[in-house]
Amino acid sequence: MSQKTQKKSYIPKDEIKQLSQRSDLVGFLLMLHCWGVIIAAGMMFIVWPNPLTFLAAVLIIGGRQLGMAILMHDTAHGILFKTPGFNTFFGQIFLAFPVGTDMPVYRKYHLKHHLNTQQENDPDLPLSAPFPISRKSLRRKMLRDLTGMTALKLRIGQIVMMVKNRESTLVADQVFNIKNVFAPYLVNFGMFAICWALGYWWAYFAFWMLPLFTVFQFVLRIRNIAEHAMTSHEKNPLVNARTTKANWVARIFVAPYWVNYHVEHHAYMFVPCWQLKKMHAAMVREGHLPNMETKDSYLEVLRIAAPA
């Protein structure tokens, strides 16, 4: 599917052209910001070691690992950087492999989602179709996330699928389909080696693997619910995706890098993440807000997704 094909223009075409401009500089700054926050959070505990700084570091890093996946998503669309090769190289080595996924494989899967959003052949449909569910069921899912059970099942599945030389048939695993698990493991070994060389070998496990296996899966689930659960099955990006207002707390943990502007992303998937807030303002200015699926907070989304 061509990323330049849109069925309808919601804002003036000259403004679309302006907002779709990519920037190598901004791409690098966002990637450096993501890694910088992760390193700073770990250093916070090293400088001030106590239970509160440890918990804060794990939570912040887990949220920023989601941010890493979001920036990887933009490289899959070819929009984080202006230079195509930068999207391929940095998207794979510095954004996809650290969190255990494969950007080119993800891209193939994800573009099918854009082409068939909330339709029967949407590969993401089984993630949103079960909702609404009971609060008890949602708590069970979140408990599995926070105890590492979800991540452990996923990683075992990756190895099994690689050995069998086929892609996972489980929708929840398809985002993490990968041709060869050795490359992500090699990158992660490099991260461990850096920590070891600096005298903090334990930091890799405490401040990378622990949040990756727990907090990351938890916030990833919340983000997935917010984006499409209980949205319309119409072929209309204004209503088959959801934009959720995000306060500063949400932006730290579940909505980094403007990912909450999901209607805008589906309306114009060639617009970089850092332009989505402006895109939202433009669509509101053009009078589209009453026709857009929006919610005032992530808590509101969870309340309708698990009402009782």
Q: Which two tokens stand for residue 17?
A: 């052209």
Q: Say what the pLDDT of residue 2 is.
A: 39
Nearest Cα residue to 87 out of 270, 278, 280: 270
Which is it for the CA torsion 8, 243, 68, 106, positive or negative? Answer: negative
**Inter-residue contact 291 to 234 (CB < 8 Å):** no
Task: Work out the number of other CB atoms within 10 angstroms of the CB of residue 189.
Answer: 12
Is 261 strand, coil or helix?
strand
Q: Compute the chain's Rg from CA coordinates.
A: 19
Structure confidence at residue 95 (pLDDT) = 98
| Confidence at residue 5, expressed as pLDDT on a 0 to 100 scale | 41
Two structure tokens written together for 286: 């053009």
Q: Which residues of the chain have pLDDT under 50?
A: 1-6, 168, 170-173
Q: Cα–Cα distance between 305 and 293 in angstroms, integer?
A: 14
Beta bridge partners of 244: 295
User: Which residues are CB-contacts of 12 (< 8 A; sequence separation ≥ 6)?
Assistant: none
